[in-house]
């Protein structure tokens, strides 16, 4: 009798556990405990908030409206009531950290509690995923039972930097696509949008003081077709676009409401050809250059004259006014040193500063920017080449050439964001099947992304604390349209979201795949042109 009872208890426990594993939330939460019963959302359900969560309450009402057709009331209220979604701060939950939350669903209602507003927002994202996936449809769905199973979710992220980089230089992305992407990041509890705004092939941010950066620098006369040796040559079509400061302000505010920080990148001293085309005095030679039309690394880089440093700091001043982000990205990658070697002015400058080679000159340049940003209360971040030749102590490093740069930076006491081309370059092929659209090369299938571990084993526990998190890179040489962008981004970002949010011990590729089948319906409902199973996808 007793063993029968024990057996029963065991069975119930196992089934509760499997059900918990199968709650189709992406990224997988820290802990889910199933209860009995469910909560039915009704037109009379009310959303109760406090001051700090009022905006999130309104966003939730907006998100629930299209598919249900319900216009839920959102009320500031300190008193709980039945049939409500009650979301408010609870300072006693400090253990959940700045972004964690507690979500409870019973027959009577839903409560979301968190020590900070970001956590409440993430609680609402989980709540949306606990409803049937049709909740993401953009038009009223009839005959759907809008129920949430009774349960308790306790959740918080593994890393503070959970990001994605969008390159809008190689191909411009309209602001609507930027907004859509921010929504999709927030849905995956990602909090960092790295916006690559300047490069050889286009300057995409309006700078009032230097109008030629966009009037000249945002437009290239044509674009290389295919890979480097493609006999088709060039397309003969001008390509361009940029964001005005007013547009950027709107996008930054939109992201802020969804707890996404936009980290702008102004590339220097390399990847500078569009800027040099606009203002030739920023270059090293008298040769006339035009906005880049091919991919790869150009030898035209900024000179290191004082006037150029001032120019770039003026650009940063306008950038800082638009972006509240603590981190400001200054690029720093792939700087060919040929022109500095050949330039008498650059050589004289090196001598005057007592620098032994061009690597030290690059380091000097980056340190000037670091001092400037630090003096303005910000922190510099750059690609891992900024480590070469010495780096200012407060600067952070984005490790892209594998893990090496990240390991070296963490060991030297710098904060690190992992962005290795071994696991996070979403410009690479997702499959070896025929029919994939042209990509830069490489092979980055979903499972490989999922397997990524951001903390390299070479680090001690203390050094590992330097790893702020990770992000994917969507370099857009071979990503010409928004649909193509979404095809490259999804579902790989869904996999990455578990890499950066879910505790390593809770990651599991097979439950991810079953949860993804449901998640895919959500993303499709939102009009995401992802790489879905073959019969149903549109290949760009």
Active-site annotation holds for 199? yes
In angstroms, give the least distance from the CB of 419 to ligand TNX. 8
Judged by CB under 6 A, does residue 388 bind ligand TNX? no
Active-site annotation holds for 271? yes
- 51 sits in which H/E element: none
In angstroms, give the least distance from the CB of 136 to ligand TNX. 31
Instruction: Kindly tell me which residue out of 159, 259, 298, 400 binds ligand TNX, with binding defined by CB under 6 A.
Output: 400
In angstroms, give the least distance from the CB of 475 to ligand TNX. 3
Q: List the interface residues with ligand TNX, window 329-358 (CB under 6 A).
A: 333-334
DSSP states along 231-249: TT-B----EE--B-HHHHH
What is the Cα–Cα distance from 414 to 428, expressed in whole angstroms? 29
Q: What are phi and psi for residue 184, nearest 5 degrees?
A: -70, -35
Residue 101 or 475 having the CB closest to ligand TNX: 475
Q: What are phi and psi for residue 525, nearest 5 degrees?
A: -60, -35
Q: Which of 305, 318, 334, 458 is catalytic?
A: 334
Give the x/- contact pattern for ligand TNX in 44-73, rule: CB under 6 A: ------------------------------
Instruction: Kindly tell me which residue out of 104, 137, 415, 427 binds ligand TNX, with binding defined by CB under 6 A.
Output: 427
Residue with tokens 């972004």: 99
Give the x/- contact pattern for ligand TNX in 429-448, rule: CB under 6 A: -----------x--------
Judged by CB under 6 A, does residue 426 bind ligand TNX? no
Judged by CB under 6 A, does residue 34 bind ligand TNX? no
In angstroms, give the least distance from the CB of 204 to ligand TNX. 14
DSSP state of 435: T
Give Cβ neighbours of residue 80 (< 8 Å, ≥ 6 apart).
48, 86, 109, 111
Q: List the interface residues with ligand TNX, window 367-386 (CB under 6 A).
A: 383
Judged by CB under 6 A, does residue 364 bind ligand TNX? no
What is the Cα–Cα distance from 86 to 107, expressed in whole angstroms? 13
What is the Cα–Cα distance from 247 to 242, expressed in whole angstroms? 10
DSSP states along 523-537: HHHTT------GGGP
Q: Is the dihedral of CA 432, 433, 438, 439 positive or negative?
A: negative
Judged by CB under 6 A, does residue 475 bind ligand TNX? yes
- For residue 103, the cross-strand partners are 112, 153
Residue 477 or 520 having the CB closest to ligand TNX: 477
Judged by CB under 6 A, does residue 144 bind ligand TNX? no
In angstroms, give the least distance from the CB of 169 to ligand TNX. 9
Residue 67 or 166 having the CB closest to ligand TNX: 166
In angstroms, give the least distance from the CB of 200 to ligand TNX. 8
What is the Cα–Cα distance from 80 to 85, expressed in whole angstroms? 9
Instruction: Kindly tell me which residue out of 181, 425, 452, 485 binds ligand TNX, with binding defined by CB under 6 A.
Output: 425
Q: Which of 171, 188, 271, 423 is catalytic?
A: 271
Active-site annotation holds for 384? no
What is the Cα–Cα distance from 463 to 449, expressed in whole angstroms? 23
Residue 333 or 388 having the CB closest to ligand TNX: 333
Judged by CB under 6 A, does residue 172 bind ligand TNX? no
What token pair was written down for 170?
A: 């190689």
Q: Of the candidates 333, 106, 93, which has an alpha carbon nearest to the alpha carbon of residue 198?
A: 333
What is the Cα–Cα distance from 341 to 347, expressed in whole angstroms? 7
Which residues contribute to the site for ligand TNX (CB under 6 A)?
Answer: 333-334, 383, 400, 425, 427, 440, 475, 477
Q: Which residues are catalytic?
A: 199, 271, 334
């Amino acid at each position: 009798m007793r063993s029968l009872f024990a057996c029963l208890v065991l069975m119930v426990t196992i089934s509760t556990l499997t059900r918990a594993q199968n709650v189709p939330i992406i990224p997988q939460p820290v802990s889910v405990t199933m209860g009995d019963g469910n909560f039915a959302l009704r037109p009379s359900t009310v959303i109760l908030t406090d001051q700090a969560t009022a905006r999130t309450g309104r966003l939730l009402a907006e998100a629930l409206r299209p598919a249900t057709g319900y216009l839920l009331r959102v009320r500031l209220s300190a008193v709980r009531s039945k049939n409500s979604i009650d979301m408010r701060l609870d300072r006693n939950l400090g253990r959940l950290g700045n972004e964690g939350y507690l979500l409870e669903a019973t027959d009577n209602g839903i409560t979301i509690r968190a020590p900070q507003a970001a956590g409440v927002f993430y609680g609402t994202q989980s709540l949306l995923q606990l409803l049937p996936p049709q909740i993401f449809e953009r038009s009223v769905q009839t005959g759907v039972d809008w129920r949430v199973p009774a349960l308790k979710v306790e959740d918080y992220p593994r890393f503070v930097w959970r990001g994605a980089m969008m390159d809008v230089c190689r191909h411009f992305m309209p602001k609507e696509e930027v907004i859509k992407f921010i929504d999709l990041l927030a849905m995956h509890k990602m909090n960092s949008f790295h916006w690559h705004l300047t490069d050889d092939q286009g300057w995409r941010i309006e700078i009032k003081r230097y109008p030629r950066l966009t009037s000249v620098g945002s437009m290239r006369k044509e674009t290389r077709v295919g890979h480097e040796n493609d006999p088709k040559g060039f397309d003969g079509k001008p390509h361009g676009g940029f964001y005005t400061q007013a547009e950027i302000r709107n996008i930054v505010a939109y992201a802020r409401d969804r707890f996404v920080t936009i980290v702008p990148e102004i590339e220097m001293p390399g990847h500078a050809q569009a800027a040099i085309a606009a203002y030739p005095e920023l270059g090293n030679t008298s040769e006339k250059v035009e906005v880049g039309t091919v991919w790869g690394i150009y030898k035209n880089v900024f000179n290191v004259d004082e006037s150029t440093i001032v120019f770039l700091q003026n650009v940063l001043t306008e950038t800082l006014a638009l972006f509240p982000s603590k981190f400001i990205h200054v690029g720093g990658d792939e700087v060919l040193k040929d022109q500095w070697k050949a330039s008498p002015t650059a050589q004289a400058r090196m001598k005057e500063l007592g620098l032994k080679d061009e690597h030290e000159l690059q380091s000097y340049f980056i340190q000037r920017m670091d001092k400037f940003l630090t003096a303005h209360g910000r922190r510099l971040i750059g690609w891992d080449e900024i480590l070469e030749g010495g780096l200012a102590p407060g600067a952070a490093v984005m490790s892209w050439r594998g893990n090496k740069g990240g390991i070296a930076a963490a060991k030297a006491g710098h904060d690190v964001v992992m962005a290795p081309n071994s696991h996070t370059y979403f410009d690479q092929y997702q499959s070896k099947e025929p029919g994939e659209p042209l990509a830069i090369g490489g092979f980055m299938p979903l499972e490989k992304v999922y397997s990524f571990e951001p903390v390299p084993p070479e680090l001690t526990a203390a050094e590992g604390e330097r790893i702020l998190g990770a992000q994917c890179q969507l370099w857009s040489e071979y990503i010409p349209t928004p649909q193509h962008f979404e095809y490259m981004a999804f579902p790989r970002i869904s996999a990455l979201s578990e890499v950066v949010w879910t505790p390593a011990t809770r990651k599991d590729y097979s439950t991810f795949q079953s949860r993804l089948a449901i998640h895919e319906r959500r993303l499709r409902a939102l009009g995401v042109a992802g790489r879905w199973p073959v019969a149903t996808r549109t290949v760009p």
